[in-house]
Structure 1
């Protein structure tokens, strides 16, 4: 008999391919309309308003189809949680899973209390709750890596405590050439900077009916992962970009910035477009070239552009001297578009193009930004606050911040 799960995966795959094909057709229509707009600018000195409106509609449709294609590609990749650990889960893990399911469905917590006492767990938050099984935590983190744009390109560390510290070399050790028998002068010590990344509490509070919880066929692990993924991803996305570091991670836009020509450690360098609130009217893509080469070569090979949807719509119109579009669509469902050969990461929490905003970031985020996860996802069952619904106060601890200030550059829309 054909496995219904296989059939579901095949259907999702077909839907993702269909959405991506529609996206590719829309981009061809976009290029045709934009070519007409540019021709009108050259011959008449102005573009047709109707053409601009049509371009805006196609632009919105491109973004919508790309998002739909990405969602379907992500759904296709999700394995069923119930069978993920089958055949390789240890007895304690199976006991934890059974005790956790009993707690979620009925509120019976004796089994979880006993397990956490046995494990000498010290991870309890101030509001209590119990640790979810490891497979639930892994699935939540995996989904966040796909949904949270900065997490997907940053470095990730899992820690057992509440604070992660690293020492980063701000200058290399002094060195030089020396003859075989010549004296070896003492070299200077490398400059070191200690960086701290505290893990802050992130929470979501999904609600369920008792009827859903009583339904034995409902996979409660899968339900929890489904319910918290979007809430966690949205909060992370905002914090990793612009979080102030107070009860949340510190975003890369929250650090001090300096003109790239006077860059120093502890600051993020920026380049100005030369126009307040826009790209230059002549050769607008030149500032993107300057941004790329503001980054040292060792960082460029793994660099990405980060911008929001509206900024991406602006750069989508740019062409090179040969008339080729600099922005290119992704090669397949779930993949990133590219700009001048570098991946484009769409982060809606990046600012829009406006006077003085840093609307485009470019750099090696794997080396430049660190996301810290404290091990453990805790869940507190609350059947009282929103009767007849049961609330599940779900928390995880997350931190983040810049770890290499030389790896990131910003494009500022200012004169």
Structure 2
């Protein structure tokens, strides 16, 4: 790790100590933060967020630089006759962008490109794997959805027919039976969850002058714009979707673990979060995909909370790129989770691998020069088909809900 990144890490720790000192001083004097102290505290929290973003960028840039050096070293070591000529690398995507073909289907990539999708982070080796157009698009979709980064189970299917997932809703139970008495029957109970394939699409247009004259990376531009739009649309439904003509959101189908007290406008206490933690049974708490999900503003409130031993529940990560923890579990943020308010489900905790995301087929891109012929515009459209559902609704994920008053 470079000295610059280490310096940022030390600065982050120092800022957090300053923030704790403000909170501790007010607590020791049995008062709330003054207006000046509150402003300083918020500024310190904003500094923490900026340092996190900067450190992540530097770490990924450092990794990319090293991977590029390794790649060039391998290329330079190859015999001249083994190298491909530039014209041999002309891809189907480039022919589509130039208008030589009207449309292409980009299916789920196989082999090395599919490994890039699984190794979706630079630090996991993703930078060493060639990136296809599909891989770039999926990376952007994941970045805009906090739930996608929390570790749901992703099912990639070639087509969009309905998938039925069988689940248990109750297990068999045994009982003490006297000698020669008949055994009591106890059968497990089953249900099934259904995953469909809802269509999300976005339309983009570019002038023929732009396509002919610009030096902008067209692949990167389309990936960023389409990925952000598709990710925002599906990400919102993955959290709060109703399940009627749209995916069923995680918060929609999660059960309530803790309800807050009255007269506090839906706010939670340290005890509420501890109770929410233990409302999820140990098998789910011990899962590698177990964690917290909330919006950024809610996390700001969590940073102020202490347990009964006067220790802060929130602990900053000591490793760049790793999430901060709350009661030892990673914290993920998603802007689609409700803000703290009366009756609002503002915090989720549990095993997010029990939330299934279904992606049907690949990402479909099409090009038309006829759609806006009179304006001399080239039209591109991007479409995905997806669904989401919490398949285990027996308590794998639970939420904190503010009181009704």
* TM-score tier after normalising by the smaller chain length: 0.7 to 0.9
CA drift of 1:401 comes to: 1.1
Query: Match of 1:333?
Result: 320
Match of 1:109 in 2: 101
- The correspondence for 1:291, drawn from 276, 288, 295, is 276
Q: CA deviation at 1:38?
A: 2.0
Q: Which residue among 157, 160, 163 is the counterpart of 2:158?
A: 160
Shift of 1:325: 1.7
Equivalences for residues 332-351 of structure 1 within 5 A: 332-351=319-338
Q: Is the 8 A contact 1:101 1:220 kept in 2?
A: no
The alpha-carbon distance between structure 1 residues 372 and 213, as it changes in their structure 2 partners (threshold 3 A), is: same
Cα pair distance change 1:279/1:131, threshold 3 Å: same
CA displacement at 1:21 relative to structure 2: 5.1
Name which of 225, 228, 231 aligns with 1:230: 228
Contact 2:238 2:247 in 1 (8 A): yes
Matched, 1:36 2:28: no
TM-score (ref. length: structure 2): 0.75
C-alpha distance 232-335 of structure 1, shift in aligned 2 (>3 A):
farther
Maintained 8 Å contact 2:266/2:343: no
- The answer to whether the 8 Å contact 2:348/2:397 transfers is yes
Q: Could you tell which deviates more after superposition, 58-67 or 370-379?
A: 58-67
Do 1:201 and 1:247's aligned partners in 2 also have CA atoms closer than 8 Å? Answer: no
| TM-score (normalizing by structure 1) | 0.74
Show the counterpart of 1:151: 148
Deviation at 1:327, TM superposition (A): 0.5
CA shift at 1:321, angstroms?
Answer: 3.4
Query: 31-40 or 50-59, which moves further after superposition?
Result: 31-40
**Structure 2: how far apart are the matches of 1:69 and 1:204?**
33
Report the CA distance between 1:359 and its aligned residue.
Answer: 0.5
CA distance in 2, matches of 1:215, 1:16: 39
1:379 to 360, 365, 368: 365
2:125 — aligned with what? none
| Aligned equivalents of 1:336, 1:214: Cα separation in 2 | 43
Counterpart-to-counterpart distance in 1, 2:17 and 2:276: 28
- Pair 1:300 & 2:288 matched: no
* C-alpha spacing 1:77/1:299, structure 2 compared with 1 (3 Å): farther
Deviations along 1:107-126, one digit per CA (max 9) or x if unpaired, are: 1217xxxxxxxxxxxxxxxx
- Aligned residues of 1:131 and 1:378 also touching (Cα < 8 A): yes
Higher mean C-alpha deviation, range 159-168 or range 270-279: 270-279
For 1:118, the equivalent position in structure 2 comes to none
Which structure 2 residue ranges, 5 or more long, are not aligned? 79-86, 110-131
Q: Give the gaps of 5 or more residues in structure 1.
A: 1-9, 88-93, 111-128, 256-266
> Alpha carbons of 1:26 and 1:140: their partners in 2 closer, same or farther (altered >3 Å)?
same
The Cα of 1:192 is off from its aligned counterpart by 1.2
Listed one character per residue, the Cα deviations across residues 112-145 of structure 1 (whole Å, up to 9, x for unaligned) are: xxxxxxxxxxxxxxxxx42136332233224433
Map of 2:36 onto structure 1: 50
Q: Is the 8 A contact 2:175 2:184 kept in 1?
A: no
Gap change, CA 1:294 and 1:235, over 3 Å in 2: same
Task: Give me the whole-angstrom Cα distance separating, in 2, the residues matched to 1:389 and 1:169.
Answer: 54
1:98 maps to 91
**For residue 105 of structure 2, what is the aligned residue in structure 1?**
131
- Show CA shifts across 1:309-341 (max 9, x none): 111111101123333221111222322110111
Residue 56 to residue 412, structure 1, CA distance change in 2 (3 Å): same
Report if aligned partners of 1:305, 1:361 keep a CA contact under 8 Å in 2. Answer: yes
Contact 1:207 1:389 in 2 (8 A): yes
**1:358 corresponds to which residue?**
345
Corresponding residue of 1:399: 387
Change (3 A) 1:57 1:373: same
Offset of 1:365 from its aligned partner? 0.7
Partner of residue 137 from structure 2, selected from 140, 152, 159: 140
Report the counterpart of residue 370 of structure 1 in structure 2. Answer: 356
Aligned partner of 2:239 in structure 1 is 241
Q: CA deviation at 1:271?
A: 1.2
Other structure's SS at 1:325 match: coil
Per the TM alignment, residue 223 of structure 1 is displaced from its structure 2 partner at its CA by 3.9
Q: Which moved more, 1:131-140 or 1:65-74?
A: 65-74
Aligned-residue offset at 1:246: 4.1
Q: CA RMSD in A?
A: 3.6
Secondary structure of the structure 2 residue equivalent to 1:205: strand
Distance 1:17 1:394 in 2: 41
Deviation at 1:249, TM superposition (A): 1.9
Give the alignment partner of residue 47 of structure 2, picking from 33, 36, 61: 61
For 2:169, the equivalent position in structure 1 comes to 170
Instruction: Provide the rounded CA distance (Å) in 2 between the counterparts of 1:184 and 1:141.
Output: 57
SS in 2 for 1:371: strand
